[in-house]
Structure 1
């Protein structure tokens, strides 16, 4: 079995299918402080699959509308532009990665956990008054390096999982022991490749070790969102261990237990959004 290095794994990212130009253009436009609904609708219409998903969620029973939503502008009005931003990002990224073939890896469980973490990150960001779109994206991609390693280096990743089972440790500890690097580093490199804001890459790279970072709201937020997703049983896999909550991250965010429980309830009520992203 040949050895791989972090440099090799990062270089291999260039071999992944690129995000469609229409999706990149839409995601770039949605990063602007002010966006025009008409321009968003125009960009969505250029991707028929994305447009169909947006209309489907707008017409879902969750919104309880009396009439059918038939146009993209109407769907954006129903959802609200802010919610639509995060849902569009989620659907685009998940759809893109569903083209990867990963033998023996439960991709559905992986994406359920990732989408659940994204919803938790969005709820936390709203509570804290920080950027909900960046928080959602960082939560969605926090573990994507794990999927990439399993897809691109399946034999080595089977060794990682065997080590994890033998030592009953966290996957990131098994990755570091077997590979010498971990999925968080690969996920951060992908965020840089896709030209996401720098704070997203930093949050992905450090969500397992916020205590080693200077005060950074998005790192702390994604760390807590990951824990919340486990508490709410958004699975990452049958053998996925619940991460330990960092006291440092918890204290820096300043969320009380009453607020925390309320946020858990709010996200639990939004579970159908994960199904929309995965369908």
Structure 2
């Protein structure tokens, strides 16, 4: 469809009322024109004279006593009111032309009168000139008729457009015509030589802010009137009621308690205004029905909100209950994990260790078992991943180690059996890095296997450090795998076993300590007792920030 560009609108394209009427409007704005001159100008058009006298004597515009002459009318009502009455006739005659023969002008006039009467009622509350408010309200959306006049092929859209709220309608105009009725009124105001105060108020009623002065602007009255009128015409009456209440308070400082008062008399006033202007449109407006529809939807929305709130509250309670149950389960699981670790021994016992979990459950473990011949099996291990699945695999591996260590005296055979069992039943992608072996207290020797774990550190009394690197892959990857045993003397030495949570631990400056950093730290704290050394090391990573990984460490002293 073709749409007339806004920049291409010429005054000659616009609806044009009778020149005699416009002459009166212009004369009323001229202070040099006397009452007598203005009276002569009106009387020169007999039809206009009759219309003005009918309006002045109508119940809507009337002054309480009959006025039989234009001269008397002008002396009583003044130039400004005469101008407003003439403008009302101007708009009426412009729209009732043959151009709009196929247009639903009845519904347009009904909506326009709703806006005009609403503006007049608001003006009465704020002590504004009532005729100014009514005239501006009647003219404020006249631009939409000009848009349809310029784009006659879109007149069928009016039925949909008028059922929208003012905001929705304004957006729809932009999409439909590429410009809006308030922009049109700027052009029309110049073409018809309308008073600047009237043109400005009409062209700005969709782009206003709360006024900082004591007196509200006419444009603010028009915006509020637009929303009040939409209560009777828009489908979404709830939104119209909400926005009307909000704007009356924000822009005009009118409390919501006054809305019913403002709205109650509108239907009757619209009927009177329609009759006065000779429009004879249907004014079957039911204030009670309008408010009932708006409030029923509002009540429904509130009920839905209350139901949603109730459901949310119950969901949160259920979440808290499940969270408490989960906390209890995790606490019990952690208790079970702790029970799988060896009990603390006296200070002169050759082995000490610790495990600190980064989460509720740990994927690391350490263990040592005294055999009947005095030897001690030991292990430090780290299950890949974290959380529940890692903790369950840890418990399985720990149980296998403790059970088999009592029967199998050779570490390589022990790890081979554990590896086979893990390969058969393990979840794909999971594995265990492990250092395990036997310490022989009598001759101060250790038989040790490193399967994919960070290097063990053997530190003698002179500060020399021997790294015992991994010679095979972690458990749970390949079923048929060798586990080479290395033998070292730990006489007058300390053997440090740890998981990657220690060697990759983050210091307070967020820097990783690394193997070299760990070596330096071990040398620095070597005079301390072995349990104190362990506490000193893990405390560097177990600071105020969250742990990145489980921390597990063991020291064997010869």
TM bin (shorter chain) = 0.7 to 0.9
CA shift, 1:222, in A, is 0.6
Q: After superposition, what is the alpha-carbon deviation per residue over 1:119-144, rounded to whole angstroms, capped at 9, x for unaligned?
A: 33234334334455543332111111
Partner of 2:40: 42
Q: Is the 8 A contact 1:95 1:278 kept in 2?
A: no
Partner of 1:274: 274
Q: 1:98 aligns with which of 90, 96, 119?
A: 96
Q: After superposition, what is the alpha-carbon deviation per residue over 1:54-109, rounded to whole angstroms, capped at 9, x for unaligned?
A: 3334455676978x6532234557x7446554333212321233124225421122
Counterpart CA distance in 2 for 1:142 and 1:265 is: 22
Q: Is the 8 A contact 2:103 2:155 kept in 1?
A: no
CA shift, 1:223, in A, is 0.7
Counterpart CA distance in 1 for 2:107 and 2:161 is: 18
Partner of 2:202: 204
Partner of 1:54: 52
- The count of aligned residue pairs is 268
Q: Is the 8 A contact 1:125 1:221 kept in 2?
A: yes
Counterpart CA distance in 1 for 2:44 and 2:53 is: 14
Q: Is the 8 A contact 1:135 1:218 kept in 2?
A: yes
Partner of 1:187: 185
Q: After superposition, what is the alpha-carbon deviation per residue over 1:27-58, rounded to whole angstroms, capped at 9, x for unaligned?
A: 12333579754444323212222211233344
Partner of 1:109: 107
Assess, with a 3 A threshold, how the Cα gap between structure 1 residues 114 and 4 changes in structure 2: closer, same or farther.
same
Q: Which protein has the bigger helix share?
A: 1
Q: Is the 8 A contact 1:163 1:174 kept in 2?
A: no
Partner of 1:30: 28
Q: After superposition, what is the alpha-carbon deviation per residue over 1:212-257, rounded to whole angstroms, capped at 9, x for unaligned?
A: 99987122111112223344x4x6xxx7766543835642312234
Counterparts in 2 of 1:1-279, with a 5 A limit? 1-8=1-8, 10-11=9-10, 13-31=11-29, 37-60=35-58, 69-75=67-73, 80-81=77-78, 83-158=81-156, 160=157, 170-211=168-209, 217-231=217-231, 233=232, 244-245=243-244, 247-248=246-247, 250-265=249-264, 267-271=266-270, 272-279=272-279
Q: After superposition, what is the alpha-carbon deviation per residue over 1:180-202, rounded to whole angstroms, capped at 9, x for unaligned?
A: 22222213321232222334333
Counterpart CA distance in 1 for 2:259 and 2:36 is: 36
Say which structure, 1 or 2, has more relative contact order (CA 8 Å, 6+ apart). Answer: 1
Counterpart CA distance in 2 for 1:258 and 1:162 is: 32
Larger radius of gyration: 2
Q: Is the 8 A contact 2:49 2:70 kept in 1?
A: yes
CA shift, 1:147, in A, is 1.0
Counterpart CA distance in 2 for 1:69 and 1:145 is: 34
Q: Is the 8 A contact 2:55 2:277 kept in 1?
A: no
Q: Is the 8 A contact 1:87 1:277 kept in 2?
A: no
Assess, with a 3 A threshold, how the Cα gap between structure 1 residues 162 and 252 changes in structure 2: closer, same or farther.
closer
* Stretches of structure 1 lacking an aligned partner (at least 5 in a row): none
Counterpart CA distance in 2 for 1:220 and 1:98 is: 29
Segment drifting more, 146-155 vs 207-216 = 207-216
Counterpart CA distance in 1 for 2:34 and 2:266 is: 28
TM-score, L = length of structure 2: 0.41
Assess, with a 3 A threshold, how the Cα gap between structure 1 residues 224 and 64 changes in structure 2: closer, same or farther.
closer
Assess, with a 3 A threshold, how the Cα gap between structure 1 residues 218 and 154 changes in structure 2: closer, same or farther.
same
Counterpart CA distance in 2 for 1:60 and 1:154 is: 35
